Amino acid sequence: MPDQPLHAVTTGPYLFRGEPAADRWTLVREGEPPADAAAIVPLEEWRERQDDAARAPWLAADTELTPALAAELASAPLIAIDFPKFTDGRGYSLARLLRERHGYRGEIRAVGDVLVDQLHFMTRCGFDGLALREDQWLEDALRNLRVFSRAYQPAVDQPEPLFRLRQRELTKRREAAPAFA
């Protein structure tokens, strides 16, 4: 069987926790990653060499995140989740499940068809690494991450709904205010 050619994927700008960052990882869709590079490889390839700290898995959007798989992924230095099309929202659910149900604390990275319009919602679901599509602009990405200052709904980044936060602030103000006689 002949060796498969390397199919490393070039991505556009990379953001980590909302800031531009250098990306030391190479996303590999198929074939063998370069020997001297940290590589994000398909889940099955990662499973073959989980003990290699220079490898991390990427999950397809249709991956079934079972408790056994989540336990296996806990040792991964990062987990990339593939967005095959920007209209495919299954990756949001995978990230949220990894963070909230399974307690994954490492980097969760969005890869694939990642557009600046999605970034705010991705961070709310638990993504902290964002590898944008090549045609996306860093300035647009940074601006879109800062469009909303608050969100009403609870999420990974804000587990409490906004009404509870406001209610707590109001209670503190009332308790701190002097009583009138």
Q: Find out whether 49 and 55 touch, Cβ atoms under 8 Å.
A: yes
Q: What is the reported pLDDT for 118?
A: 92
Q: What is the reported pLDDT for 29?
A: 84
Q: How would you write the pLDDT of the chain (181 residues) with one tens digit per residue?
A: 344 444 555 568 999 999 999 999 999 987 777 667 899 999 999 999 888 888 999 999 999 999 999 999 999 999 999 999 989 999 999 999 999 999 999 999 999 999 999 999 999 999 999 999 999 999 999 998 888 877 777 788 887 887 888 888 888 888 888 877 5
Q: In what order do the strands lie in the sheet with 19-20?
A: 7-9, 25-30, 38-42, 55-59, 78-83, 107-112, 129-131, 14-16, 19-20
Q: Find out whether 118 and 85 touch, Cβ atoms under 8 Å.
A: no
- Residue 59 to residue 80: CA distance in whole angstroms: 6
Q: What is the reported pLDDT for 8?
A: 55
Q: What is the reported pLDDT for 158?
A: 80
Q: What is the reported pLDDT for 6?
A: 43
Q: Which of 120, 156, 131, 140 is nearest to 28 (CA)?
A: 131
Q: What is the reported pLDDT for 3?
A: 46
Q: What is the reported pLDDT for 160?
A: 80
Q: Token pair for residue 35?
A: 């020997």
3-state secondary structure of 10: coil
Q: Is the dihedral of CA 154, 60, 85, 54 positive or negative?
A: positive
Global pTM?
Answer: 0.81
